[in-house]
Amino acid sequence: MLAIMFKKYQGKLYCFSPPVMLATFLIEFGLAFYTLWRYKMTAVSRLAIVTLFALGTFQLSEYMVCGGMGLSNTGWTRVGYGAITLLPALGVHMLLTVADKRMPALINAAYTSCAIFFGFYLLTSNSVSLQACYANYAVFSVYRPISLMFSAYYYGWTLTVMCLAWTWGNKLPKQKQALHAMVFGCLVFLIPTATVNIIDPTTTRGLPSIMCGFAVLYAIILVAKILPNSCEVRTSIQNWRETLRPRI
């Protein structure tokens, strides 16, 4: 199957072609399993694992509809959109957990808005469909008013996470590295996506595909910087090491 796809794309690895989608899926799922193996289960590590699986599920869905196994692309498209709908709410939850903040109104608002879009995409027929698969990205067709509200939901919560993570990071020395890493993690997929859209405005049609392609960088930062610098994870590792020390 991979040989057929490489032949189709003349051996070239376009930015977000099916072979790259598959590779990204494997990286994100691999990071999820690595987190399961490497870290003791805490609230932060659980949220990280769910986030990585959600990112990987979107890439798998894209692969299935753009060059995969010939299954119904409608179902996979809805699964993919459902997966990325989880990401902003998970980001808010992780932010509050890393910062050790208790803000039930904020987290309830994030998950309530998430549930509305998640239910719409998974339960409503023709809520989203594949319009076209290009060499570099996939284009999805979504009812325009819903698309605008979804963009407000996605960017609104992402910017909220960035602003609060930066502000709290400057006030919380123990959590500073993890919180500032969250800001950097968001920027590494927002800025390249915006740059591509500015250079070629036609790429805005494939915004979810392009953004989630760059989001593999966030996945790497999540495992390499956010998790290790989380106080909760550091404490669990220290406790684990204490149990291994020989008793005198």
Q: Please, which pLDDT band fits residue 35 given cuts at 50, 70 and 90?
A: very high
Portion of the chain with pLDDT greater than 70, in percent: 81
Q: What is the pTM of this model?
A: 0.85
- 199-225 residue pLDDT tens: 777 666 677 777 777 888 999 999 999
Q: Is residue 236 included in any domain, yes or no? A: no
Is residue 154 assigned to a domain?
yes
Report DSSP letters for 142-206, one per residue. Answer: E-HHHHHHHHHHHHHHHHHHHHHHHHHHHH-GGGHHHHHHHHHHHHHHHHHHHHHHHH-GGGGGG
Q: Tell me which residue of 134, 129, 137, 133 sits closest to 213, measured CA to CA.
A: 137
51-55, 67-71, 75-79, 130-134: least confidently modelled range: 67-71
pLDDT band per the 50, 70, 90 thresholds, residue 131: confident
The CA distance from 182 to 80, in Å, is: 23
Question: 247 in a domain, yes or no?
Answer: no
User: Residue 79: inside a domain, yes or no?
Assistant: yes
Q: Please state the domain count of the chain.
A: 1
Report yes or no on 243 lying in a domain. no
Q: Residue 88 falls within a domain, yes or no?
A: yes
**Residue 237 falls inside a structural domain:** no
Quick: pLDDT tens for 61-107.
888 887 655 556 777 888 888 999 999 999 999 999 999 999 999 99
Which range marks the domain in which residue 73 is found?
2-231
Please say whether the beta carbons of 19 and 13 come within 8 A: yes
- CA-closest candidate to residue 24, choices 67, 69, 68, 59: 59
Indicate which CATH number applies to the domain containing 161: 1.20.1070.10
Tell me whether residue 246 is in a domain. no
- For residues 237 and 39, the answer to whether their CB atoms sit within 8 Å is yes
